[in-house]
Amino acid sequence: MAQAVSFLRDFKLGHYMKIPPRSMFLVQFIGTMLAGSINICVAWWLLESVKNICHEDLLPKGSPWTCPSDRVFLDESVIWGLVGPKRIFGTLREYSALNWFFLGGAIGPILV
């Protein structure tokens, strides 16, 4: 989602600068493909060259190499999938009134 918002912001800036939309799309497409390819290559190179990179218990003490993204995604999934929504948006909670906006979002297109 953040990638799409960034693309739209770039398209808006390109529109203000009178850059043709096809040129903007081509440059963004090439940049995305290039960045994605480089990211995969670097990750593959690290996983192949650093022994036990994802096993913190087997790494030497004080080693900077870990797999933090796995842990981050697990923590986010637990917080927002199991704990967060009920504690934040549940009845009589701080943001419980925001649930009414789902109803407004469902009815709004019908009225317009």
Q: What is the pLDDT of residues 16-44, one digit of tens each?
A: 999 999 999 999 999 989 998 998 888 88
Helix intervals (H) in the chain: 2-16, 21-49, 68-78, 84-89, 100-111
Q: Are 51 and 63 in contact (CB under 8 A)?
A: no
Q: Which amino acid is at 96?
A: S
**Based on the domain organization, do 55 and 72 belong to the same domain?**
no
Total domains in the chain come to 2
Range of the domain at 72: 67-112
Cα(64)–Cα(66) distance, rounded to whole angstroms?
7
- pLDDT score of 83 more than 80: no
The phi and psi torsions of 111 (rounded to 5 degrees) equal: -70, -30
Per-residue confidence (pLDDT) for residue 107, from 0 to 100? 92
- pLDDT score of 99 more than 80: yes
Q: What is the pLDDT of residues 45-82, one digit of tens each?
A: 887 887 777 777 777 777 766 665 556 666 677 767 77
Per-residue confidence (pLDDT) for residue 67, from 0 to 100? 67
**Based on the domain organization, do 24 and 51 belong to the same domain?**
yes
**Based on the domain organization, do 2 and 48 belong to the same domain?**
yes
The phi and psi torsions of 94 (rounded to 5 degrees) equal: -60, -40
